[in-house]
A and B are shown apart, each in its own frame.
Chain A
Amino acid sequence: MNTAVIFGVLLVLMITGMPISISLGLTVLTFLYTMTQVPIESVAMKLFTGIEKFEIMAIPFFLLAGNFLTSGGVARRMIRFAVTMVGHWPGGLGLAGVMACAMFAAISGSSPACVVAVGSILLPAMIKQGYPPRFGAGVITTSGALGILIPPSICMVMFAVATNTSIGALFMAGVIPGLALALTLGGVTWWRAKKNGYPRSPKASWAERLHAFRESFWGLFLIVVVMGGIYTGVFTPTEAAAMSAIYAFIVAVFVYKDMGVKDVRRVLLSSANMSAMLLYIITNAVMFSFILTNEQIPQALSNWLLANGFGVIAFLMAVNIVLLLAGNFMEPASIVLIFAPILFPVAVKLGINPVHFGIIMVVNMEVGMCHPPVGLNLYVASGITKMGITELTVAVWPWLLSMLAFLVLVTYWPGLSIWLPRTMGLM
């Protein structure tokens, strides 16, 4: 009964369009004042202590690092490198788009920014070479989402924070699925391009490749700083995030010189703005999940599932469907913070590996960015391509379909995610 009321109130508040953080908070307050004996002080404490964890502080640092490197200049370097490597294959510029997105989204940490940056540089070039506009739009819209699977990923930090899973293990677990998904999207691009006879670019010499690699190296090295630092134990994840922010600052201002020292203030302010928004959702989500735990809702859910004979397969299927549906209405951060505390205890009880479950959620978020009605990548791509959402939906479907197939693969093949972190001794 209480469960129905809690979720009913949350749902009603949410569909009025108020910020998700506010609807979470108001749900908690309503519940506290009307239907429980939980002392209000113990919940009020969560307002203060909800985000007092050093792990959470990785989020502002990663955002800062990403913002330093979110510039047209960095995107251009990644694209040039990608074109020299794969441009001579069928659908060369499309393949280069996938590769450039994978690299740029990983270091900038923002899918929509990646779609805009790579899209507005690459799409005009593709059209000039004679690609149909829909093809390019489909490639860029879906590849832009790769960033949340390839570490460093803020979405994974969110999951780690909500479930007390190791950030290092999650990051490592994202590497193979991330590359596999990039290959999948690239494969679809290649196949469609070959079938339709899309143009290739001239093959680059090794000297050009080396030059382009040296240009993009400084940006890509950020991934090494983070992953190497965490893996070797030189840094904790939060320290790695802070170091990557300093590193990104040095690269952006002194190596690439894409921004001057005067731009730093603006980058700091926009990172603070974004982090504060995410931390505000976290604070309220922590209170919300405190209520859920207190009402033993995850426990009731897993008992119900077990009593009705649902196994791992059915549960994961249901998880995917629920998350894909939620992806129709909310952005990734909120989905992870609301659903992870409910679903995670059930998953653990059913014997699903915590890190594997995290990767399933993250891949789900990735798919959610690319399909209507609210996929953020779609909207952003619609802005730069001047295509309507309906036309874009048609444009993305070959890639979206392959992403869904990939989601099934990730869901039912735990080894894909957990082999690497396990082999490296991170879990």
Chain B
Amino acid sequence: MKFLDEFEEWFITSLMAGATIVIFLAVIHRYLSALPIPGLQNWLVSLDVSWAQELCIIMFVWMAKFGAAYGVRTGIHVGVDVLINRLEAKNRARFVLFGLLAGASFTGIVAALGAEFVWNAGAHHAALQAFGMPLGDIPEGGTTPDLEWPKWIVYSAVPLGSSLMCFRFLQVALNFVRSGELPHHDHSHVDGLDDDAASGAKA
């Protein structure tokens, strides 16, 4: 479990950093290759970075799907809680639990829909091919326009991410039943304020 937590964090952090660097390099490349520096210019022009945007989008889509699961764990997905917060504790707990289970069902359904979609969009074909079985008229599925990666691999972010999210909702729900505690995200956290905040609180 700890491994899964760490992997999730490491994965979305790297995708975030990676996408930023990819776009940064692509922009730098575009302007450097316009400079008339002998040798360097030819080499830069010969590099094709037209795939940078597509790679950035794919990285962010994966980050979004796995980050949404991480977000369940950190309690960042907020809803309209003004009304239920006025209920007495016992009834409020019922609504909270209902919300968490609704989240688990929705992400579960999406995971199933997504898996079916990915299966039909080329995963089936790839699986048959891998085991050397007759392909019949199973579609091969397309590839992405610039990178030419198989679409089903790119799209499997949806079933994988959504399954993880479903798991996280169940985990949070179980923890809520056991301890009555919910993860809570603090939108107003600012670093480097410790001394001031303390004196502000006293004042």
Q: Which residues of A are at the interface with B, using a C-beta cutoff of 8 A?
A: 13-23, 25-26, 29, 40-41, 44-45, 47-48, 51-54, 56-57, 60-61, 64, 70-73, 75, 110, 112-113, 115-117, 119-121, 123-124, 127-128, 235, 238-239, 242-243, 245-246, 258-259, 263, 265, 268-269, 271-277, 279-280, 283, 328-331, 373-374, 376, 380, 383-386
From A14, A40, A263, A280, B71 is in contact (CB under 8 Å) with A280
Cα-based distance from A120 to B15 in the complex (angstroms): 34
Interface residues as binary, B128-155 with A (CB distance below 8 Å gives 1, 0 otherwise): 0000000000000000000000000001
13 contacts between A and B (CB under 8 A): A13-B102, A16-B95, A17-B96, A47-B114, A54-B53, A113-B187, A239-B27, A246-B24, A258-B191, A272-B16, A279-B67, A330-B80, A385-B200
For window 97-118 of B, CB contacts with A under 8 Å fall at: 98-100, 102-103, 105-107, 109-110, 113-114, 117
Q: Chain A contact residues: over half helix, strand or loop, or mixed?
A: helix
Q: How far is the CA of A122 from the CA of B188 in the complex (A)?
A: 16
Which residue of B16, B24, B70, B83 has the most chain A CB atoms within 10 A of its CB atom?
Answer: B16
Identity of the chain A residue whose Cβ is nearest the Cβ of B195 in the assembled complex: A72
Give residues in B with beta carbon < 8 Å to A.
9, 12-13, 15-17, 19-20, 23-24, 26-27, 53, 56-57, 60-61, 63-68, 70-71, 74, 76-85, 95-96, 98-100, 102-103, 105-107, 109-110, 113-114, 117, 155, 158, 185, 187-194, 196-197, 199-201, 203
CB-defined contacts of B185 to chain A, threshold 8 Å: 273
Rounded to whole Å, the gap between the CB of A251 and the closest CB of chain B is 14
| In the complex with contacts A124-B199, A277-B77, A22-B102 CB distance below 8 A | yes
**CB-based contact A22/B76 at 8 Å:** no
What separation, in Å, do the CA atoms of A75 and B188 have in the docked complex? 14
Q: Which residues of B contact A235 (CB under 8 A)?
A: 27
Nearest CB in chain A: distance from B96 CB, A: 7
* Residues in A whose Cβ lies below 8 Å from that of B203: 123-124, 127-128
| Chain B contact residues, majority secondary structure | helix
Choice from B9, B61, B100 contacting A269 with Cβ under 8 Å: B9
**Cα A112 to Cα B186 with chains together (Å):** 10
Asked if residues A44 and B113 are in contact (CB atoms below 8 Å), the reply is yes
> Which of B74, B80, B107, B200 is in CB contact (< 8 Å) with A17?
B80
Docked-complex contact A374 and B82, CB < 8 angstroms: yes
Determine how close the nearest CB of chain A comes to the CB of B181; give it in whole angstroms: 16
Q: Closest residue to A124 on the B side, CB-wise?
A: B203
Check A16/B200 contact, CB under 8 A, given A47-B110, A275-B67. Answer: no
Does the CB pair A242–B20 fall under 8 Å?
Answer: yes
| Given A16-B99, A120-B200, A276-B71, 17 new contacts (CB under 8 A) | A15-B80, A17-B81, A20-B79, A20-B80, A53-B57, A75-B193, A113-B189, A116-B193, A117-B190, A242-B24, A243-B24, A269-B16, A272-B12, A272-B16, A330-B80, A385-B200, A386-B201
6 smallest CB-CB distances across A and B, nearest first, come from A276-B67, A72-B192, A18-B99, A19-B77, A242-B23, A279-B64
Q: Which residues of A contact B24 (CB under 8 A)?
A: 242-243, 246
| Contact residue among B9, B56, B95, B193 (Cβ-Cβ distance under 8 Å from A54) | B56
Partner of B77, one of A21, A51, A75, A245: A21
B64-A329 in contact (CB<8A): no
* Contact call B158/A60, Cβ cutoff below 8 A: no
A57 touches B60 (CB 8 A): yes
Instruction: Please pick, from A51, A121, A243, A384, the residue contacting B61 in the complex, using a CB distance under 8 A.
Output: A51
**B99 surroundings in chain A (CB, below 8 A):** 16-19, 22
The distance in angstroms between the C-alpha atoms of A384 and B202, with both chains bound, is 10
A113 to chain B, nearest CB (A): 5
Chain A nearest CB from B15 CB (Å) reads 7
Nearest CB in chain B to that of A52: its residue:
B57
Once the chains bind, are A14 and B80 in contact (CB under 8 Å)? yes
Assembly CA distance A95 to B53 (angstroms): 43
Chain A contacts of B85 at CB under 8 A?
17
In whole angstroms, what is the CA distance A272 to B73 when docked?
13
Most chain B C-beta atoms within 10 Å of own C-beta, residue among A19, A40, A44, A259? A19
Identify A22's interface contact among B81, B84, B103, B193, CB under 8 A. B103
- In the assembled complex, the Cα of A100 lies from the Cα of B190 at a distance in Å of 16
Which B residue sits closest to A326, measured CB to CB?
A: B80
Smallest CB separation, A325 vs chain B (Å) = 12
Whole-angstrom distance between the alpha carbons of A117 and B199 in the complex?
13
Instruction: Flag if A272 contacts B63 (CB, 8 Å).
Output: yes
Say whether, besides A60-B16, A127-B203, A384-B201, A116 and B79 are in contact (CB < 8 Å).
no
